[in-house]
């Protein structure tokens, strides 16, 4: 569910960005819906990428924490001061 909400959230942000762009240009907001779809798709893909990056970072951090814990055990310190 987090993946879907991330993609939808980024897509809606892309739509808002497209509306902002057209608003600055003082153009009709509903003139070219293809541009809206492209903006939503690009930002949605960005949301997917951000979600995958977050998941991978969590795995890397867990691995690094385990490595640090093992080194502390080998050195004889637990870090519980």
Sequential pLDDT tens for the chain (81 residues): 789 999 999 999 999 999 999 999 999 999 889 999 999 999 999 999 999 999 999 999 999 999 999 999 998 876 565
pTM of the model: 0.75
| CA quadruple 29, 31, 33, 35: dihedral sign | negative
The position carrying tokens 């930002």 is: 43
Taking the domains of the chain in order of start, what are their residue ranges?
2-75
25: DSSP letter? T
CB 46 within 8 A of CB 13: no
What Cα–Cα distance (Å) separates residue 53 from each residue in 45, 60, 69?
Answer: 12, 10, 24
């Amino acid at each position: 569910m987090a993946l879907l909400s991330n993609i939808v959230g980024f897509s809606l942000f892309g739509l808002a960005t497209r509306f902002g762009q057209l608003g600055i240009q003082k153009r009709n907001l509903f003139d070219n819906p293809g541009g809206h779809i492209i903006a939503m798709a690009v930002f949605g893909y960005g949301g997917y990428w951000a979600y995958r990056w977050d998941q991978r970072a969590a795995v890397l951090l867990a691995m690094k924490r385990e490595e640090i814990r093992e080194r502390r055990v080998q050195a004889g310190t637990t870090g519980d001061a």
